[in-house]
């Protein structure tokens, strides 16, 4: 009886997604580490590759700056700046070119007004707000009964749904940025054929982490809905 009381069978829903997420993260870091050890034949650093991609795409006014950390690379649309990590900014490795060009791809999306990227940008503040308050509200709802419980739980699930929607919209944005990056890497001869395959491996592994995160968030939402219905 005590075991049945504490065991929540809905955890079975998200367990596979969590396992997939862990595997995806391991593969992403493994691919990045592997190709961070191999210099590219063109001698291009990450910063130079990003700058060349922007130039080929006709995008101007974008700053490229170094940032601390590992795999902390990102594009900030608020100040039109590409932030490249220490292992990417001034390193002339295969991984550096792939990652830097991916982030430059986001800058091109922003410049061209890529629709999924615009939708994602609109969802950012709501997603952060929803992620922060959703679970506390649901937990509070479980402490009450009747209409009060329903109100807190429904609001919590609605807020979490916004966060889930954000992860779903993020998928085409990330895949498109990698597609743009790989296309110009090949057309601009940033890397030779074998090196290109390595850069593609890095970006493909990174993309799978977003797929895993989306799957996890969707299944977590389903779990919360099931718990809410069971509670009622």
Active site residue 103: yes
Sheet holding 81-85, edge to edge: 63-67, 81-85, 74-76
CA–CA gap between residue 78 and residue 224 (Å, rounded): 34
- Residue 190's H or E segment, with its range, is none
Q: Which of 51, 86, 103, 193 is catalytic?
A: 103
10 Å CB burial of residue 37 (0-12, 13-18, 19+) is: exposed
- Residue 16's H or E segment, with its range, is helix 11-35
Q: Which residues contact 139 (CB under 8 A, 6 or more apart)?
A: none
Q: Which two tokens stand for residue 43?
A: 């001698």
Rounded CA Rg of the chain:
21
- Active site amino acids: 103
């Amino acid at each position: 009886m005590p075991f049945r009381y504490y065991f929540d069978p809905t955890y079975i829903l998200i367990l596979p997604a969590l396992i997939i997420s862990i595997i995806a993260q391991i593969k992403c870091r493994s691919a990045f580490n592997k190709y961070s050890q191999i210099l590219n034949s063109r001698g291009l650093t990450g910063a130079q590759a990003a700058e060349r991609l922007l130039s080929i795409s006709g995008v101007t006014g974008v700053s490229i700056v170094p940032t601390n950390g590992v795999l902390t690379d990102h594009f900030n649309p608020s100040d039109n700046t590409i932030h490249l990590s220490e292992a990417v900014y001034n390193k002339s490795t295969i991984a550096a070119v792939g990652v830097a060009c991916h982030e430059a791809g986001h800058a091109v999306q922003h410049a061209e007004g890529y629709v999924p990227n615009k939708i994602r940008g609109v969802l950012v503040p709501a997603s952060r707000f929803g992620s922060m308050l959703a679970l506390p509200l649901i937990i509070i709802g479980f402490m009450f009964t009747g209409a009060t419980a329903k109100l807190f739980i429904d609001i919590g699930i609605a807020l979490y749904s916004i966060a889930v929607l954000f992860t779903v919209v993020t998928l085409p944005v990330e895949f498109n940025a990698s597609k743009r990056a790989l296309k110009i890497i090949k057309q601009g001869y940033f890397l030779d054929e074998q090196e290109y395959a390595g850069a593609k491996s890095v970006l493909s592994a990174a993309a799978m982490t977003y797929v895993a995160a989306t799957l996890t968030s969707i299944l977590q939402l389903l779990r919360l809905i099931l718990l809410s219905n069971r509670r009622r």
